[in-house]
Amino acid sequence: VFSSLFIDTPPTDPYPLYEVLRGAGEPVLVADRMWAVTGYESCEHVLTDNRFVNDMEAVGLHKGGPQWREHSALRMLGAMMLMANPPRHGVLRRSLQRRFTPLRTAAETGMVTAVARDLAADLAERGDADFITYFADLLPTEVISRFIGIPESDRLEFRRQIVAFNAVFERGVTTEQLRAADGAADDLSAYIAELIAESGTGRKETLLAHIANAAADETLPAHEAVPLVFQIYNASYQTVSSLLGNGLAALLDHPLQLQALRERRTSLASAVTEMLRHDPPVQSTGRHAGTKLVLGGTAIEQGDMVVAMVAAANRDPAYFPRADEFLTHRTVRPLLSFGQGIHYCLGAPLATAQAEAAFAALLQFRSIELSGESHRRPSANMRGYASLPITVVR
Ligand code: HEM
């Protein structure tokens, strides 16, 4: 079941397979020294118990073999905050905290709303358009580019590379995908290094200036600057695009829910939370046991991997009644879609702000309908749409 979820061609609808896995109990052994947990409590446990750590040596070996350091994509993955353990993780996270406070995000919301409105106006002009190409891909690209300080002429340039790099987050990355990810890592890091060098320090609001200042006052070691910007840039495009695509597809598939939202019987905030629960852009994340331990009554050896299947946890019937249904008025418990614990997604407020602004703009249309066949991206762990053709009437 695990292989058909992640290793072979991914299924269009993985959720019945998660239920098969849940039925096998947890933790369930899914490969040599690799376990999976599917319940809400166990996933939360794996993400918050500090005996579970990130082990890049093991991840590198698993994805790239003994010579994994020859792959620049895996070297970059290892340099990212996402893979860092304390105390280094704390140094990196603190260096960014001031740039990601709720106050700052609130200030950014005005910019996000303006970009969403412009893109919606363009959709209305077109009438028929692919929602992913003309909206879902453009909103996060524009927002994160302004946030980082990427010049306008370069903003659309690196989307293909980000998707190529993200293959490193798949559980069954192929040699060919890894080669493409290496090229993408090289291109992106060279570009980011150039941007940082050109940015200079000062009182500018961009993330680049913030990082350059942090490096100048030595709160951030200089060699951490490129991977840190890389992490933010990379984390923010495909994920948000997938939230918008998965969310719109769910709404179009549930006309009564769309109607409730139009009539303001449900709030945009709860609808976006339900989109994140029902079909999360990141389906699972892994940790390694830093020591020998017992999980759910099963002995886990030091170095074993445990995959927290957050998409399955989001449908844990013990936590979410009628878990398979898409109910925009649901009062949702804290979700695992942005992770949990020390690596909890730094960009969660920026991501939800974009989704709320996007759906607020789209709900202004008199009608919005699917106009053709949609297609999923070929990736399994990063779950989203490659195309979602729609017709809108203003
Ligand atoms: C819907 C959109 C998004 C989803 C579903 C998402 C999901 C996640 C998840 C699941 C994690 C934790 C992974 C783990 O623990 O292994 C994470 C971490 C992270 N995310 Fe997001 N993310 C989204 C958008 C963003 C945005 C917009 C940004 C930046 C502006 C961002 C920046 C980060 C960073 C920096 C981390 C690492 C935090 C750390 O290691 O301390 N994410 N994200």
pLDDT in tens, 265-274: 999 999 999 9
Is residue 243 within 6 Å of ligand 1 at its C-beta?
A: yes
Ligand 1 mutation target, pool 240, 343, 345, 346, most atoms within 8 A of CB: 345
Q: Which positions ≥6 away from 97 have C-beta within 8 Å?
A: none
pLDDT (0 to 100) of residue 376: 96
| Alpha carbon separation from 16 to 91, 247, 351 (Å, rounded) | 41, 19, 27
pLDDT at 340 over 80: yes
Give the model confidence (pLDDT) of 247-296 as tens digits.
999 999 999 999 999 998 999 999 999 999 999 999 999 999 999 999 99
pLDDT (0 to 100) of residue 203: 63
pLDDT (0 to 100) of residue 354: 96
Segment 96-105 mean pLDDT: 79
Q: Which positions ≥6 away from 125 have C-beta within 8 Å?
A: none
Give the model confidence (pLDDT) of 59-98 as tens digits.
999 999 999 999 999 999 999 999 999 999 999 999 998 7
Spatial distance between the Cα atoms of 62 and 176, rounded to a whole number of angstroms: 15
Among candidate residues 143, 121, 154, the one with its CA nearest the CA of residue 355: 143
Name the residue with the closest Cα to ligand 1, atom 36. Answer: 345
pLDDT (0 to 100) of residue 101: 79
Helix axes 225-236, 72-79, angle to 10 degrees: 100
Give the model confidence (pLDDT) of 238-247 as tens digits.
999 999 999 9
Q: Which residue has the tokens 């919301």?
A: 109
pLDDT at 170 over 90: yes
pLDDT at 36 over 80: yes
Segment 110-129 mean pLDDT: 96
Greatest Cα pair distance in the chain: 60
Q: Which residues pair with 368 in a beta bridge?
A: 392
> Which class for 373: exposed (0-12), middle (13-18), buried (19 or more C-beta within 10 A)?
exposed
Is residue 340 within 6 Å of ligand 1 at its C-beta?
A: no
Q: Residue 373 is encoded by which pair of tokens?
A: 């066949």
CA quadruple 120, 123, 129, 133: dihedral positive or negative? negative
Name the residue with the closest Cα to ligand 1, atom 17. Answer: 345
pLDDT (0 to 100) of residue 165: 96
The angle subtended at Cα 115 by Cα 185 and Cα 389, nearest 5°, is 75
- CA 365 to ligand 1 center in whole angstroms: 31
Q: Per mean pLDDT, which range of 101-115, 169-183, 221-235 is the poorest?
A: 101-115
Among candidate residues 328, 336, 358, the one with its CA nearest the CA of residue 282: 336
Residue 110 φ/ψ, nearest 5 degrees: -60, -45
Segment 363-376 mean pLDDT: 97
Spatial distance between the Cα atoms of 349 and 360, rounded to a whole number of angstroms: 16
pLDDT at 105 over 80: no
pLDDT band with cut points at 50, 70 and 90 for residue 213: confident
pLDDT (0 to 100) of residue 7: 80
Q: Which positions ≥6 away from 82 have C-beta within 8 Å?
A: 54, 231, 235, 343
Spatial distance between the Cα atoms of 156 and 147, rounded to a whole number of angstroms: 14
pLDDT at 202 over 70: no
pLDDT (0 to 100) of residue 217: 87
Name the residue with the closest Cα to ligand 1, atom 6. Answer: 338
Ligand 1 mutation target, pool 233, 243, 338, most atoms within 8 A of CB: 338
Name the residue with the closest Cα to ligand 1, atom 43. Answer: 345
pLDDT at 392 over 90: yes
pLDDT band with cut points at 50, 70 and 90 for residue 13: very high
Spatial distance between the Cα atoms of 328 and 25, rounded to a whole number of angstroms: 29
- CA 348 to ligand 1 center in whole angstroms: 7
pTM for this structure?
Answer: 0.96
pLDDT band with cut points at 50, 70 and 90 for residue 332: confident
